[in-house]
Amino acid sequence: MSVRTTRAARPLRRGLLGVAGLAGFLAGWQLVPALGLVDPQYLPYVTDVLARLSEQLVDLAFWRRLGATMTSWAIGLSVATCAAVVLGTVVGLAPPLRRATHTTVEFLRPVPSVALIPLAVLMFGIQRQAALVIIVYASFWQVFVQVIYGVADVDAVARDTARSFGLTRRERLTHLVLPTALPYLMTGLRLAAAVALILAVTAEMVIGNPGLGRMIELSRSAGDAVGLYALVVVTGLLGLTVNLVFRFVERRALSWHQSVRGEETG
């Protein structure tokens, strides 16, 4: 019956709407230079940018650089996430620890990663590790804060239940605290993924190790606006892809959660 079709139609509709949103944006962009709001020399036409992009897509060198950037991104994000989940859980579960570390955390969080680049270079030279330090530092806090809040969000009755049945600390952690914090963690991850991507690119721009960021910097210093925006579009598309993956994971991991199931029955 209609059950199947509606279920199959939903992702399709979602996809179509999303594409429509993007298309609207691109059309708006095309209009800005077309209407003369900005000289096309500085903000080129979308059509030109996409044409350049399609040229890049068949260039192996482009993929190699993309690979370099994504490798930094993936390593940095994983390290930051693991550290943040562990530390965030520990700190979030122990109120005294939370109070004691509060000032230090708040002090360290706003330190801009770009200001740490010289230090990173001093420690690791002009290499990927220097970029990784920056990526990990910036994305760590995104997950950390979310985990701290998420871990504290455990329902009072649910916690009493776990305690009364004598669940061990570890069981409580895996079966109660982490599922409760999972929606927060997913948001933190999505935030961190974007931040890590931004910093992977920025670090390459500033430090100069190979990758998309260096290509952006090269296009920039050559005054090649079309090439520059083609690469900007690539970073945007990367962010989009990463988000699609996280959404997919979320829909499976959080199928029980109101935010996901609400849409199934609503």
Partner 1 sequence: MTTHPGRIATTPRRRGVGPRIAAGLGHALGLPTLLLVAWGLAATRATNRFLPGPAAILDAFVDTWVGPAFVEDVLPSLYRLGLGVAASIVLGVAAGAVIGLTPWLRELLEPLLEFLRAVPPPVLIPVVMLLLGITDTMKVVVIASGAVWPILLNTVEGVRATDSVMTETARSFRVSRWQRLRFLVLPAASPRIMTGVRQALSVALILMVISEMFASSAGLGYRIAYFQRNYLIAEMWSGILLLGGVGVLLAVAFGLVERRVLRWYHGIREVHRA
Partner 2 sequence: GCTDSDASAPSEQTSGDLRKVRVAALPITETAALWGGIKAGLFAERGLQVEVLPAQGGAQAIPALLNGDIDFAIGQPFGAFRADLSNLGVVIIGNYASSYADGDDINAVVASAKSGIRRPADLAGRRVSVNSLGAAGDVTIMAAVERDGGDPSKIKFVEVAFPDAPAQLAAGNIDAAWVPEPFVTQLRSRGDTFVVAPYQAVVPGLTTLTTITTADRTEKDAKLVEDFSAAMKRTLEWAGDPANETAVRQAIKDNLQLPPPVADSVRLPAFGWQVDRSSLQRLAELAQKYQVLDRQPDLDRLVRQR
Partner 3 sequence: MPDRTLLRVEHLRKVYESTTGGVEAIGDVSFTMAAGELVCVVGPSGCGKTTLLKCLAGLLRPTGGVVEMDGAPVTGPSPAMAVVFQEYGRSLYPWLTVRGNVELPLRHKKLSRAQRRRLVDDALDAVGLAHAAPSHPWQLSGGMQQRVAIARAVAYQPEVLIMDEPFAAVDAQTRADLEDLVRELHASRRMSIVFVTHDIDESVYLGQRVIVLSSSPTRVQEDLAIDLPPERDQIGTRALPRFTHLRTHVYGEIQRARRGRAIAPRPAP
Binding partner of 41, given partner 3, partner 2, partner 1, none, CB within 5-8 angstroms per partner class: partner 2
Report how far residue 116's alpha carbon sits from residue 137's, in angstroms, rounded to the nearest whole number. 9
Task: Report the residue from 78, 161, 241, 259 that binds partner 3 according to the rule CB under 8 A.
Answer: 161
Report how far residue 251's alpha carbon sits from residue 261's, in angstroms, rounded to the nearest whole number. 9
Footprint of partner 1 on residues 104-143 (CB under 8 A)?
A: 104, 106-115, 118-119, 122, 138, 141-142
Site string for partner 1, 69-108 (x = CB under 8 A): ---------------------------x--xxxxxx-xxx
The answer to whether residue 107 forms part of the interface with partner 3 (CB under 8 A) is no
Tokens 């009755």 sit on residue: 157
Find the shortest distance in angstroms from Cβ 3 to partner 1.
Answer: 19
225: left (phi over 0), alpha (psi -120 to 50) or beta: alpha
Instruction: For partner 3, give the closer residue by CB, 162 or 195.
Output: 162
Q: Which residues contact 148 (CB under 8 A, 6 or more apart)?
A: 88, 91, 92, 98
Q: Are 209 and 81 in contact (CB under 8 A)?
A: no
Find the shortest distance in angstroms from Cβ 152 to partner 3.
Answer: 15
Alpha-carbon distances of 123 from 120, 126, 139, 209, rounded to whole Å: 5, 9, 20, 15
Binding partner of 214, given partner 2, partner 3, partner 1, none, CB within 5-8 angstroms per partner class: partner 2
Task: Report the residue from 61, 82, 86, 97 that binds partner 2 according to the rule CB under 8 A.
Answer: 61
